[in-house]
Amino acid sequence: MVKMAIITSYLGQTKDRFHFYNQDIDLESKFKLMNQIEGYSGVELIYPYEVPEPEVLRTMLSNHALEISAINVNIKAEPEFRNGGLTTNVKAVREKAVSFIKKAKDYAAAAGADKVTVCPLADGYEFAFQYDYAQSWKYLIETLGEAGDYRKEIPLFVEYKPSETRGHCFLDTAAKTLLLLKDIGNDAMGVTLDFGHSIYGKENPAEALSLLSQSPFKYYVHINDNDGQWDWDYFVGTKHYLEYVEFLYYLNKFGYEGYLTSDTSPTRWDIRKTFEANSRMTSRIWNVVCKVDRTEIDRLIASGDYLETWKLVEGTFFA
């Protein structure tokens, strides 16, 4: 059975440039809401802004029969990080960003989490001649390398995204993120693959996943959907159904046993129903890909006759 989690910040109040959505509620109330949403057993929490003391969190999780899918460390919200936390020329700011990640690992260990994920959205650029790209890459190796080496028993997963909050993020593709990890040389690190970031970045998520699966690095998954023009965080299957099917097919084929964490923003739609749509669609597809004859799919793909492959896809995934 597929395991599913929710990034808990989406269970409360969210906002865009113009509007606030839903109510601002505390973490206990979010966990109570989680217990009303079918299909979920995990939570991804934002450090340091959303978490209580580790022992308090452990009790809350136990009371609500939940577990941690990941601790997500935010290194973009502090004023010092506006121009990049990991790649700024200001050493003290780089050190602060690294310390945030290290403290998140300390917190994860104390709270019972098995990973920390970070998305360095403030590290990037907008204009030509704005940054020294080679030096910025060296800073990424230095800072994320130091953070990854700390408490290796709590792996650090690096999430990539084409843009936001910067016009162009330094880590914008699966391939570039893998290259960074290879330059760092720490096999205990990993990549967080967000389906929507991959779509928005003009990747094929299944291909990006396949690339990660052939590397020595672990991977962790966020699910959502968008129109390919922006990271709207819609619920799954609404814009890229067949790409999502293929993505889950390869997750199953490669033996992924981790959480599929909903990085989905309800905004105008009912919170409970939005996340249940994610779990319902994902579980239905997962149940099909568990039963499909992978040997036959592999044979058809290898044959090169796509119309024959399409007949199987049509009959299996559009039935």
135 in Cβ contact with 123 (< 8 Å): no
Residues 6+ apart with CB under 8 A from 226: 196, 199, 200, 232, 233, 234, 239
- Per-residue pLDDT of 85-120, as tens digits, reads 999 999 999 999 999 999 999 999 999 999 999 999
118 in Cβ contact with 157 (< 8 Å): yes
Please report whether residue 32 resides in a domain: yes
Please report whether residue 163 resides in a domain: yes
* Number of domains the chain is built from: 1
Average pLDDT of every residue of the chain: 97
Please report whether residue 211 resides in a domain: yes
Please report whether residue 309 resides in a domain: no
- Per-residue pLDDT of 169-214, as tens digits, reads 999 999 999 999 999 999 999 999 999 999 999 999 999 999 999 9
Please report whether residue 180 resides in a domain: yes
What is the C-alpha separation between 286 and 248, in angstroms, rounded? Answer: 7
What is the C-alpha separation between 211 and 215, in angstroms, rounded? Answer: 7
- Predicted local distance difference test score (pLDDT) of residue 253: 97
What does DSSP assign to residue 235?
P
Average pLDDT over residues 40-44: 98
- Predicted local distance difference test score (pLDDT) of residue 31: 98
**The residue type at 215:** S
Please report whether residue 315 resides in a domain: no
Burial of 114 (0-12, 13-18, 19+ CB in 10 A): middle
Long-range contacts at 24-30 (CB < 8 A, ≥ 24 apart): 27/51, 27/52, 27/60, 28/60
pLDDT at 319 over 90: no
- Per-residue pLDDT of 290-304, as tens digits, reads 999 999 999 999 999
pTM of the model: 0.97
Please report whether residue 311 resides in a domain: no
- What is the domain extent for residue 130? 3-294
pLDDT at 1 over 90: no
Place of tokens 């200001």: 90
Average pLDDT over residues 128-147: 98
CATH number at residue 84: 3.20.20.150
Average pLDDT over residues 218-239: 97
Average pLDDT over residues 66-78: 97
Please report whether residue 238 resides in a domain: yes
- The residues pairing with 260 across neighbouring beta strands, listed in sequence order, are 4, 221
